[in-house]
Amino acid sequence: MALSFPLMLQFLLLTTTLTSSSFVQDPEYVVQEVEKKTNDSRRNLALYSCGTGNPIDDCWRCDPNWESNRKHLADCAIGFGKHTIGGKNGQIYIVTDPSDNSKNPKLGTLRHGVIQEEPLWIIFMHDMVIKLKMDLLMNSHKTIDGRGVNVHIAEGPCIKVEYKTNIIIHGIHIHDCKSGGSGYVRDSPNHVSMRGKSDGDGVTIFGGRHVWIDHCSLSNCFDGLIDVVHGSTSVTISNNYMTHHNKVMLLGHSDSFKQDKNMQVTIAFNHFGEGLGGRMPRCRYGYFHVVNNDYTHWQKYAIGGSSSPTIYSQGNRFLAPDDENHKEVTKHFHSSKSGWKNWNWRSEGDLMLNGAFFTQSGAGARARAGAEAGVGASLMYAKASSMVARPTKLVTSMTAGAGALDCRKGYIC
């Protein structure tokens, strides 16, 4: 029978003390090891899980012939990015060469594939680490599909979707992204442009539409892990595992860029893990549905915003840090309550653990204040919802496989 976390911790502390008369292990280290083993065990379960209630995964992961039916993934998007088809209507392009030439990319490299004009479903021949020279500027109607291999984009500039549509990025590791210098970059077979210094984000969506980022593992980039800015909309960010980064996710360019009022983003089934500071996400102006995510770590806050964004937090699991000064899930970026009290932030069905609390405002706060107001506010949020939330008790199982999966040919993922 599996031990509960408190009993497991007591057992490890006791056995560590008894096995050596001259050395007693640091209790804080033991706690960290127990947490690591708990997370590892949880993620290992996902290798063999199927039918967890996660609607994206249940759409395709139970198929042992997923490799032959790769493009079925495009039928599984949900949320505001649900119409994203990526390269479904195109040919398969196989990346065989991890090298990169930003101005004249070679056939067989990732950059050569993503800049083509026609739709392409891009897969990889074998495990590889791709160190880009400049931002990877994607063209429309492309899927990057890392299933079946271990693909890392790391130690250089990373991915940018700029005024393009129908992009799927799935199943890759994106980490240690750097701010690149200026230089020539090809963004189509017939066009090269001089680009300035890049921000160092893992993925930047700049004026993009119909973009879906799913089952990626992201960590430790120079700027943000994922930024969605400059009027981007119809975006879903799902099933990702994010760790070891301060400013995780920015949705909305700046307080002065009002075009982001049309932004609609769904954040679903992600695991926000160890070593994260805040911005999970940080929002401006638009409408943001944050649903069925697992927040196991934050150092400052989880969800924040400015410029009157509408945030609907639904069915998430929030485990607050032990630091008594950072129990609040939310952060309203304004100098006074009078400046943010009418921003529409609502929490519905969220699970608050270890003292976590969500400060509602606007229609969300009014819904809590009275039943009559609550009906109106609930209807407003229901109409704008991007998907149906699952019960919070399912969040752990639905997010157990968050991040890049270990998919093997002939087996369910």
> In this structure, what CATH number is given to the domain that contains residue 234?
2.160.20.10
Q: Tell me whether the omega of the peptide bond preceding residue 281 falls within 30 degrees of 0, making it cis.
A: yes
Tokens of 11: 């057992």
pTM higher than the cut 0.85: yes
Can you point out the beta strands (E) in 369-412? none
Judgement on whether residues 73 and 197 belong to the same structural domain of the protein? yes
What is the enclosing helix (H) or strand (E) of 18? helix 5-18
Judgement on whether residues 233 and 365 belong to the same structural domain of the protein? yes
Specify the residue for token string 């429309």. Answer: 140
Strand partners, 283: 251, 305
Taking the chain (413 residues) in runs of 10, the rounded mean pLDDT of each run is: 42 36 38 43 46 91 95 97 98 98 98 98 98 97 98 97 98 96 95 92 98 98 96 97 96 92 96 96 96 97 96 97 96 91 95 98 77 54 79 95 94 89
Judgement on whether residues 36 and 119 belong to the same structural domain of the protein? no
413 domain residue, yes or no = no
What is the C-alpha to C-alpha distance for residues 211 and 57, in angstroms, rounded to an integer?
18
Judgement on whether residues 201 and 314 belong to the same structural domain of the protein? yes
DSSP 8-state code for residue 72: G
Judgement on whether residues 228 and 248 belong to the same structural domain of the protein? yes
Note whether 201 and 229 are within 8 A (CB).
Answer: no
Judgement on whether residues 36 and 157 belong to the same structural domain of the protein? no
96 domain residue, yes or no = yes
Tokens of 36: 């690591």
Catalytic residues, by residue number, are 279
What is the C-alpha to C-alpha distance for residues 9 and 3, in angstroms, rounded to an integer?
9
Judgement on whether residues 34 and 75 belong to the same structural domain of the protein? no
Q: Which strand ranges, in their side-by-side order, compose the sheet holding 203-206?
A: 136-137, 159-162, 203-206, 226-229, 249-251, 282-284, 303-306, 330-332
Tokens of 409: 């040919």
CA torsion sign for 270, 276, 278, 283 is negative
Judgement on whether residues 34 and 67 belong to the same structural domain of the protein? no
pLDDT for the residue 349: 96
239 domain residue, yes or no = yes
Instruction: Kindly list the distances between the CA atom of residue 285 and the CA atoms of 29, 168, 179, 251, 282, in Å, as whole numbers in the listed order.
Output: 42, 25, 27, 9, 11
1 domain residue, yes or no = no
187 domain residue, yes or no = yes
The candidate with the shortest Cα–Cα distance to 348, out of 320, 400, 385, 323, is 385
What is the C-alpha to C-alpha distance for residues 39 and 400, in angstroms, rounded to an integer?
9
Instruction: Determine how many CB atoms are found less than 10 A away from the CB of residue 300.
Output: 18
Q: At residue 215, what is the residue type?
A: H
CA torsion sign for 12, 14, 17, 21 is negative
Judgement on whether residues 240 and 96 belong to the same structural domain of the protein? yes
Phi, psi of 67 (to 5 degrees): -65, -35
304 domain residue, yes or no = yes
The residue range of the domain holding 234 is 55-398
How do 303-306 and 282-284 pair as beta strands?
A: parallel
Cα atoms in the 13 Å half-sphere on the side-chain side of 74: 25
What is the C-alpha to C-alpha distance for residues 281 and 311, in angstroms, rounded to an integer?
10
311 domain residue, yes or no = yes
129 domain residue, yes or no = yes
Judgement on whether residues 41 and 114 belong to the same structural domain of the protein? no
Judgement on whether residues 261 and 348 belong to the same structural domain of the protein? yes
What is the C-alpha to C-alpha distance for residues 16 and 242, in angstroms, rounded to an integer?
31
Judgement on whether residues 30 and 109 belong to the same structural domain of the protein? no
- Domains held by the chain: number: 2
